Structure 1
Amino acid sequence: MAPTAPAPSFPSTVTVRVEHPVLPGRTRPVALVRLDSTPPGGLIIWGSEALGQLRDAVAGIDQSAVEAIVVTGSATSFGAGANLKEIRHAQLSGVSEHYIRLGHEAFGLLADAAVPTFSLVTGQALGGGLELALHTDHRVAHRRTGPLGLPECRLGFFPGWGGVHLLPHLIGPEAALRMIVFDSMRGRHARAQEALEVGLVDVVLDAVPGGEEWDAQWQRWVADRLAALDAGEPRRRPGTAGPVTEQQWHDAVDRARARAEQTWHGAAPAPLVAVDLVAGARTESRAENAERAVRAFAELVVGDVAKASLYAFELVSARSRKAADVPAADPRPLRKAAVIGAGLMAGQLASLIASGARIPVVLTDLDDERLAAGVQRTRDRFTAQAAKGRLTAEQAEQLGALISGAAGPEDLADADFVIEAVFEDLDVKKKVFAQWEQVVRPDAILATNTSSLSVTAMAEGLAHPERVVGFHVFNPVEVTPLLEIVAGERTGDVALATAFDLAARLRRTAVRVQDAPGFVVNRVLTRLFDVVVRAVDAGTDVAVADHAPDPMGLPMTPLRLLDFVGPAVLHHVGGTMHRAYPERFARSPWMDAVVAAGLTHVLPGAGEPRQDAGSYLDPEAARLLERTRAEHPRLREEAPASSEELLVRIQDALAEEIGALLQEGVVAGPEDVDLCMVLGANYPFHLGGITPYLDRVGAAERVLGHRFHQA
């Protein structure tokens, strides 16, 4: 008989220490539970062994000898949640109940304590870290506390250590469901002031951890609360219902359930499980709700969606820390940058480089008036950020001073990095590079922000084609974290290394892409759109076609995406793809007509389609569709029989295109495709990017004869 493999070990990286200080003005000590990370400055992560440490430490407190229990984190972390390696093991082994029960047991000791309990939320508090704080009576924050949130639904499960029960009782079911489900799926977290406004924390102190003033302020606040309790103020224990009626609770749950169903169409099961647990929390005890949560977690965490979600999260986390495929060459030092153009994209690039790299950026344009307006618009972006509190007035002024307009070619002569942001036309871009190559230094990097055109073709005829590199930044520039770094046939390692170095300084996740039409994101998006618009051209009901991909739970429908980027832009990329791969990408007569007519959108109003018959499209877009369908009757032979058939066509087309993309060597593997789609197109974690989904629905095997990933 083969020996049994030893169970994997997940050593604790958390230290738990109990001290017994006496607070100012008090006579009895408190039990101060200090949490820290064994790697200095690391995160407090709750694996099984760490939870056991906490349980034993709290259980060992003689509550008859203390007047309160105070839990405090390190200067930077109160808790970063569960150990994802242990969660991954639970997915593969199918065993998670012990781990989840242990969290309830350890944290529950605080909720059941005979003495008042407090959490000093000293740094970030995410997932299990925030759930720990919810098990205490009070939460004390400071002005730099955060982020705070419950990101579990985005990872394919839900807050498994009591958050679904405690949070709605603390801040109300509507606010709790927003945080547990919708903020989680968006990857959004709260900061201290917002947490105070919704009632998640009791107070935000001015002092920050690490100094005597912090200790003085929190001790004074806790002492005052204890004095108030001594005076007869009732203690509000964790899980105590607030002033919410039964009907209000039901209404909040019903609204959240309807919104979740409409948004993800069942593609992401975790939100609905979380909603159900919040629904039960109104009448269930903490223990009863915990028992349901343990069972639901054990079932959900082993599912394909949770596996895909965690895969995507780990992929994004790893690449955000260290890019892959970076050449070993030393990057060029960057002391000054230049942007060719002064339009909207040029200004966004200039502000991104100035704020991220903290170097001067000069803009240039053929029109002096347009150049002046572009420079001012870019500076105004910093002023607007200061008005929103994202920058100080001084920082906005300093960044604005880095932006200037070129009085003449000599102002670009000393630029180390020159990026063009002109009209998306190959001949125009080639002329721009040919002109400015004569002006800038021989070792300056020439970058293009093209979304689909050939970087290799742009470098043709230049004296130094090895310094031309693709630097594709996505819209909206301020918030989209992906950067496709495109290597043309003659792009050198120094240019690539410099582009990766700048991407890191801009806090962008960079993916190396070999030069090919559409690169990765636009190629995949355009293929999906191509299948849908072919069906529309062929006579499929527009609403049916637009919503056929709904079971994928994408961030927007294809026609909403069309309106978001603009018909002319998406049609231009489609033209590039059709010329490169005419057997897979078609020309749409309807899109030809829409762009020729200068329409800026095809859906009515602000892009939110109305569902009543006959009004799904903007009237002019509908008229053009009716005309083009009449002019191309043969296209009707291609119409799918149903939305289900169209969804299968979409799945198979995506599998085919990604398979071709990988065969061409555009990126190193399917993981790069998934990373690009998550960060560049906001594809949800529950798809795993895209390739795990195509494996899951069988499209990869139907089309390619094999899966993208081993099962």
Structure 2
Amino acid sequence: MAPTASAPSFPSTVDVRAEQLVLPGRTRPTALVRLDATEPGGLIIWGSRALADLRDVLAGLDTGAVEAIVVTGNERSFGAGANLKEIRSAQLRGASEEYVGLGHEAFGLLADAPVPTFSLVTGQALGGGLELALHTDHRIGHRGAGPLGLPECRLGFFPGWGGVHLLPHLIGPAAALEQIVFAPMRGRTLRAPEALELGLLDAVLDAAPGTEQWESGWQQWVATRLEAIDAGAPRRPAGTPGEADAQEWEQAVEAARARAERTWHGAAPAPLVAIDLVAAARTQSRTENGDRAVRAFAELVVGDVAKASLYAFELVSARSRRAADVPPVPPAPLRRAAVIGAGLMAGQLASLIAGGAGIPVVMTDLDDERLAAGVARTRERFAAQAAKGRLSPERAEQLSALVTGARGPEDLADADFVIEAVFEDLEVKRAVLAQWEGVLRPDAVLATNTSSLSVTAMAEGLRHPQRVVGFHVFNPVEVTPLLEVVAGERTGDTALATAFDLAARLRRTAVRVQDAPGFVVNRVLTRMFDVVVRAVDAGTDPAVADRAPDPMGLPMTPLRLLDFVGPAVLHHVNATMHEAYPERFARSPWMDAVVEAGLQHVLPTREEPATGADGYLAAPAAELLERTRDPRRAAPATAEELLARVQDALAEEIGTMLAEGVVAGPEDVDLCMVLGANYPFHLGGITPYLDRTGAAERVLGRRFAAG
């Protein structure tokens, strides 16, 4: 089953070889199948040629001459999944059946082996790598192994090599559906101890692969299991039905279907297909379910959503390795940083820089008491990470020592990178930068964490405006991977290159953005919010307006997003956008009243219940809406009308941004929305969605065609 003549050739990236060894206390040999990357230190990635090699090696084993088969990966991975370039090629040609079927054929030889089989999960085991391990009777990992998971639903398809059948029979249908559907759609994976608790791994050893302790540890574990089988213990081959009865299985499937509909509203078809395959796995054999999976995969993978999902994944992966549009000049050395401000965001920035770049960070504030509290709060972040096991206590103590409070202006004089995180007001920020410019070295980079204000305006009047750069880190700082590097009109290449260098050291994906109100993420989000709130002001039921974008499958409704970031924050960004583009961004009487009243949220909470006939808004927000609405201008819209307005508004705004040169191309907008706003892969970021819904052509007369 080699690739067809018309198919592109993808060289194998996996070396597969078999040897024999006799385990401690045993007399008969065990077959040890070693997997390694053809590139030194590389990941094990399964393409067609590699699968054919694995099939041939497994088929060539004399199972009558060995008592067991053990499959092991290299120190970095047991398997990092399928070759996405080959899937993309098959996707474009509409020819995935052969590739997917070959995986079932190769892996199935392990499930059908007449002797006990074992997998040594030596590193990460993702997608097809984990599915290979599921085809063996037992899986052994080590404490540092991972990530483990089945990310395929997020990529627009599903675990096509048997995971939808094998995992529910191993750990139960409810737990399996969580790992097949919901965890990957949130980008979550497992570490080895979690996989052990779930029943995905049978044992987790303390020793790491490549050590004598690891070799002796896994050999002893396998030998002990073989002794138990010799003594009459039952062997449980892969795919053996578990303990779940028909009622438990059906309940788990129906609960998953309902949850998927509530979450994505049909915008992401892959989860529903995966759920159907898990449902069928209760009564189907592994091979029957596999045949159905091959057909379902071939149909799903050529769809627009799968193409958009894979485009978004490849875009994120490529940009996480190498940023685009970085000036071809060396960055300035980064030996010491400073943060102006001691509030919540300032503390998060200080801990991010100290923990990511490993350099001293000094904080400063006008109020000594607030500064001391900010430094203490920042240091507590490291202690909290140690308490959760993310840092060793020693490392947490080292990082805490890097964060200090300034005793005077001279403590910032030697800083190489200084970032302000003060109140989001242009005049306040200009005053702060002007104040500190005289203290800092002329070559120090002066950055602002503004979310929407003009970097160019902040640099006006400074002696060295070329060193001022936007460095917009998103909330929550610890987990949001995007960083907008904003170039003002006079920002120099060295400042930009230094900002990109620091972003890489902080493990953030940086996107170069030209100075414009709202930059990218906040501009797009605010435009969508503007459409929804205009409709509420005009008499549309808040529930209808807030739920109108549901068919997009966004992570939050617009009003939920409002509550998440805070009405005052989003209202401030909207004011910036209204001032710059009054024809496209309106002032909302309701939002004016909400912010003036100091409301922290508009949707109900346990402490602040809903009111009104529909019970959708919190009581204070509902009362303000009744007070600010003008019934003479009431023009309620349907959900369908509003969705079309949202689509058209987003197409218009992104088209305008591209015409203004805010970013280099639509792929930059997509990257920003995936990483900065958690937009789902099934949208492709946003522009492929606007293409396939026709919004781009309706508004711009052309497609974005980024994906």
Cα distance in structure 2, aligned partners of 1:7 and 1:710: 24
Asked if the contact 1:80/1:125 (under 8 Å) is kept, the reply is yes
Give the equivalent residue in structure 1 for 2:205.
205
- Amino acid in the other structure paired with 2:665: G
**1:188 to 1:417, Cα distance in 2 relative to 1, 3 A:** same
Cα distance in structure 2, aligned partners of 1:79 and 1:5: 27
Give the equivalent residue in structure 2 for 1:330.
330
Give the equivalent residue in structure 1 for 2:257.
257
Matched, 1:703 2:699: yes
**1:166 to 1:611, Cα distance in 2 relative to 1, 3 A:** farther
Give the equivalent residue in structure 1 for 2:565.
565
Offset of 1:7 from its aligned partner? 2.4
- Amino acid in the other structure paired with 1:327: P
Give the equivalent residue in structure 1 for 2:668.
672
Report SS of the residue matched to 1:20: strand
- Between 1:608-617 and 1:24-33, the stretch displaced more is 608-617
- Amino acid in the other structure paired with 1:263: T
Report SS of the residue matched to 2:64: helix
Cα distance in structure 1, aligned partners of 2:208 and 2:422: 47
Which among 650, 653, 657 is matched to residue 657 of structure 1? 653
- Amino acid in the other structure paired with 2:660: E
Cα distance in structure 2, aligned partners of 1:169 and 1:254: 17
Give the equivalent residue in structure 1 for 2:10.
10
**1:41 to 1:608, Cα distance in 2 relative to 1, 3 A:** farther
Give the equivalent residue in structure 1 for 2:471.
471
Cα distance in structure 1, aligned partners of 2:82 and 2:356: 32
Matched, 1:28 2:15: no
Give the equivalent residue in structure 1 for 2:634.
636
Correspondence list, 1:51-450, <5 A: 51-450=51-450
Give the equivalent residue in structure 1 for 2:690.
694
Give the equivalent residue in structure 1 for 2:44.
44
1:493-545 deviations in Å (ceiling 9; x for gaps):
00000000000000000000000000000000000000000000000000000
Cα distance in structure 2, aligned partners of 1:583 and 1:621: 26
Report SS of the residue matched to 2:34: strand
Cα distance in structure 1, aligned partners of 2:627 and 2:186: 40
Cα distance in structure 2, aligned partners of 1:402 and 1:710: 43
Cα distance in structure 1, aligned partners of 2:15 and 2:633: 68
- Amino acid in the other structure paired with 2:403: I
**1:635 to 1:455, Cα distance in 2 relative to 1, 3 A:** farther
Asked if the contact 1:609/1:616 (under 8 Å) is kept, the reply is no
Correspondence list, 1:421-570, <5 A: 421-570=421-570
Cα distance in structure 2, aligned partners of 1:10 and 1:197: 38
Asked if the contact 1:655/1:700 (under 8 Å) is kept, the reply is yes
Offset of 1:613 from its aligned partner? 3.4
Report SS of the residue matched to 1:63: coil
Cα distance in structure 1, aligned partners of 2:613 and 2:295: 44
Offset of 1:609 from its aligned partner? 8.9
**1:484 to 1:544, Cα distance in 2 relative to 1, 3 A:** same
Cα distance in structure 1, aligned partners of 2:290 and 2:274: 12
Give the equivalent residue in structure 2 for 1:627.
627
Offset of 1:465 from its aligned partner? 0.2
Cα distance in structure 2, aligned partners of 1:165 and 1:612: 47
Cα distance in structure 2, aligned partners of 1:532 and 1:144: 46
Asked if the contact 1:601/1:607 (under 8 Å) is kept, the reply is no
Offset of 1:430 from its aligned partner? 0.2
1:160-186 deviations in Å (ceiling 9; x for gaps):
000000000000111100000001101
Structure-1-length-normalised TM-score: 0.98
- Amino acid in the other structure paired with 1:551: P
**1:609 to 1:308, Cα distance in 2 relative to 1, 3 A:** farther
Cα distance in structure 1, aligned partners of 2:365 and 2:7: 65
Report SS of the residue matched to 2:634: helix
Cα distance in structure 2, aligned partners of 1:495 and 1:246: 63
Offset of 1:5 from its aligned partner? 8.4
1:395-454 deviations in Å (ceiling 9; x for gaps):
111000001111111111111111000000000000000000011111110000000000
- Between 1:108-117 and 1:7-16, the stretch displaced more is 7-16
Offset of 1:614 from its aligned partner? 3.3
**1:684 to 1:606, Cα distance in 2 relative to 1, 3 A:** farther
1:56-109 deviations in Å (ceiling 9; x for gaps):
000000000000000000011100111101110111111111111110000000
Cα distance in structure 2, aligned partners of 1:164 and 1:129: 14
Offset of 1:36 from its aligned partner? 0.3
Asked if the contact 1:335/1:415 (under 8 Å) is kept, the reply is yes
- Amino acid in the other structure paired with 1:110: L
Gaps of 5+ in 2: none
Report SS of the residue matched to 1:64: coil
Offset of 1:206 from its aligned partner? 1.1
Offset of 1:11 from its aligned partner? 1.0
Asked if the contact 1:412/1:439 (under 8 Å) is kept, the reply is yes
Cα distance in structure 1, aligned partners of 2:324 and 2:632: 47
Cα distance in structure 1, aligned partners of 2:310 and 2:42: 21
Report SS of the residue matched to 2:17: strand
Asked if the contact 2:446/2:469 (under 8 Å) is kept, the reply is yes
Give the number of aligned pairs.
704
Offset of 1:197 from its aligned partner? 0.1
Cα distance in structure 1, aligned partners of 2:444 and 2:243: 64
1:134-159 deviations in Å (ceiling 9; x for gaps):
00000000011100000000000000
Gaps of 5+ in 1: none
* Over 2 Å off, 4+ runs: 4-7, 606-614, 632-637
**1:597 to 1:349, Cα distance in 2 relative to 1, 3 A:** same
**1:295 to 1:188, Cα distance in 2 relative to 1, 3 A:** same
Asked if the contact 2:688/2:706 (under 8 Å) is kept, the reply is no
- Between 1:620-629 and 1:210-219, the stretch displaced more is 210-219
Offset of 1:329 from its aligned partner? 1.1
Cα distance in structure 2, aligned partners of 1:155 and 1:612: 41
Asked if the contact 1:455/1:487 (under 8 Å) is kept, the reply is yes
**1:609 to 1:16, Cα distance in 2 relative to 1, 3 A:** farther
- Amino acid in the other structure paired with 1:304: D
Cα distance in structure 2, aligned partners of 1:462 and 1:354: 28
Offset of 1:576 from its aligned partner? 0.2
Structure-2-length-normalised TM-score: 0.98
Report SS of the residue matched to 1:380: helix
